[in-house]
Amino acid sequence: MSQTMLESYIEKMVRQAVTSSLSNQLVTNEKIKPIVVANWKMNMNLDSISEFVYDFSKTNVPVDVVICPPAPYLYVLNGWQIKLNALFSIGAQNVHSESKGAFTGDVSAEQLVDVGCEYVIIGHSERRAIGETNSFIHQKVKHALNTGLIPILCVGESEEERKQQKTNVVVEEQILSALQNIQDISRVIIAYEPVWAIGTGQSAAPEQAQEVHHFIRSVLSKHFGVTAGRTPILYGGSAKPENAKEFSAMADINGLLVGGASLKAGDFSKIIQAFC
């Protein structure tokens, strides 16, 4: 190798090392306090909620826990939350993008705050499946943030999209459209929920999820700067006591969004312990 070739080779190597260390710095997952979220979907009633809360009150909860019951039980759970000294926070499963008006069957962010909600799930695949578009999801995220709620933005690819190797494209598009024109994402939580893993008993492999979480962090980093290193990115899709520890060991998995396995306090507690 000639002197000039050697010099340009070294220069290239140094440039690559600097670029890669810079981009690693940007996507660094800073110490993020784990969050475990229960999505009860359209399950539970007054009796089973009392039973759940009684059992759950014995749980050691060193991480942030959010419980998202069906809307009619938000206020009931708020009562329990106060009695149990804020052992958990409360989240809603959905919200409208307007503050009030003729939207039969919908609930506004202001009403959610009124009954003690701090979080709200937005863009769950079960709602996307019944017609929620990226643009409606964007309006909801914006409104939730303006009202003081913390949005838990769900993103994830279908089985078909994964087969066609479109996971990153789909997830990036869902994130960028939901967060467009939002300058400060420091109060946003992302939940990566591959549609094929939700409620199927077939979770993503922890390494498979980590790969997408790392990609999500790099997208956030590229578009929203250094705060991306502090964005909690949760995994959701058939998480259970048996696999929670493996997910918790992944660098960019900062917690779980749990459906089926959050209905029994015992199982949910075991999942929480995996993040201690």
Does residue 259 interact with ligand PEP by CB under 6 A?
Answer: yes
Does 206 bind ligand PEP (CB under 6 A)? Our answer is: no
Minimum CB distance to ligand PEP, residue 259 (Å): 2
Applying CB under 6 A, does 272 fall inside the site for ligand PEP? no
CB of 39 to ligand PEP, least distance (A): 4
20 or 200: CB nearest ligand PEP: 200
**DSSP tag of 87:** S
Contact status: 199 vs ligand PEP (CB under 6 A): yes
Nearer to ligand PEP, 137 or 198 (CB): 198
From the number of C-beta atoms within 10 Å of its C-beta (0-12, 13-18, 19+), residue 113 rates as middle
Amino acid occupying residue 163:
K
Residue 193 touching ligand PEP (CB under 6 A): yes
Which has the closest alpha carbon to 113: 127, 92, 88, 83? Answer: 92
Tokens found for residue 117:
């909600």
Binding segment for ligand PEP (CB under 6 A), chosen from 106-114, 176-184, 204-212, 236-244, is 236-244
In the residue annotation, 161 being an active-site residue is answered as no
**Candidates 126, 157, 193, 213; catalytic one:** 193
Token pair for 9: 């080779």
Tokens encoding 260 = 């089926």
Q: Which stretch binds ligand PEP (CB under 6 A): 61-69, 96-104, 222-230, 235-243?
A: 235-243
Among 29, 39, 108, 174, binds ligand PEP (CB under 6 A): 39
Residue 89 has what DSSP assignment? E
Contact 121, 159 (CB under 8 A): no
Type and span of the H or E element at 111: helix 109-114
Residue 271 makes contact with ligand PEP by CB under 6 A: no
Burial class (CB in 10 A: 0-12, 13-18, 19+), 18: exposed
As a whole number of angstroms, the distance between CA 32 and CA 155 comes to: 20
| Binding site residues, ligand PEP, CB under 6 A | 39, 193, 198-199, 236-239, 257-261
Q: Which residues are catalytic?
A: 124, 193
